[in-house]
Chains A and B, each alone.
Chain A
Amino acid sequence: MENFERRFLLHVPSSTENLSLIRDFVANIGKQAGLAETELSMVELAVDEACANVIEHAYGLDQTKEVIVRARLDGDAITIEVVDTGKGWDPGSIEQKELKRLVEERRSGGLGMRMMKLVMDEVEYKIKPGEHNELRMTKKLKKD
């Protein structure tokens, strides 16, 4: 890929119906970045997880709200930011319990965050409940 920065922006109403649209947006950018099929699937999945969390938890399925997905491509990495103004969350409250333990407790919460951390190289967040929540994920591009 040519070594100059490219930026992309998507605003969508906060509805799970739009997750497919978000995945398509990310897939197209990933293709421009030259990501291999497997890596591309993983980036799509991570962004889906982040946006599903915003739609369901930060905004509580309120379709009048908006999810913002920003992407930045340079020669080294693809960086995706998911931005919302919802109620936010306490990163410390997400326990990384063993999967077996979650099943025993009949809970499936926190799987999305676990997934993002496992498939992306970096995951960072800034939380200001009701004002500006931002989750930034980076996937480094493999050099030939």
Chain B
Amino acid sequence: MANSFSVTASEQDGIAVLTLEGFLDAHTAPQFEEAIQKEINAGRKQIVIHCEKLTYISSAGLGVFMSFIEEIRDAGGDIKISGVIPKVLQVFEILGFQSLFDIVGNVPEAVARFQQG
């Protein structure tokens, strides 16, 4: 289905990893928001958002990243973004997200960034 979206939560070396798949738009953004909120409620403040299978993002999806980042950083954590495909990366870049977020190639790299502090 053209509007399918899923978020899968996992953990790597004690760091939360949310893997996104499909289309992240105004219809599916609440699912993503809920998934991040769940991690925060569980006390996790180091979160990797893995986007290798994310094929589409609109500003509704970008807004979810924006609405949590300050809260997480204030708590001493961060959101790192990994594996973004070129089509989605272009959308991040149009709005200047690369200057606000740490965007890396893959999950191990994102985890390593957290471990380096």
Contact = CB atoms under 8 A, between A and B. Distances in A.
A103 B69 contact: yes
15 contacts: A16-B27, A20-B1, A38-B87, A52-B59, A99-B99, A100-B99, A102-B66, A103-B66, A103-B70, A103-B100, A106-B70, A111-B62, A114-B95, A115-B58, A118-B95
Interface of A: 16-17, 19-21, 23-24, 38, 41, 45, 48-49, 52, 55-56, 99-100, 102-104, 106-108, 111-112, 114-115, 118-119
The SS class assigned to the B binding surface is helix
Contacts, number: 81
Nearest to B64: A108
Instruction: For chain B, give the interface size range.
Output: 20 to 34
Nearest to B30: A16
B74 to A, nearest CB: 10
B23 A20 contact: yes
Nearest to A116: B59
B94 A119 contact: yes
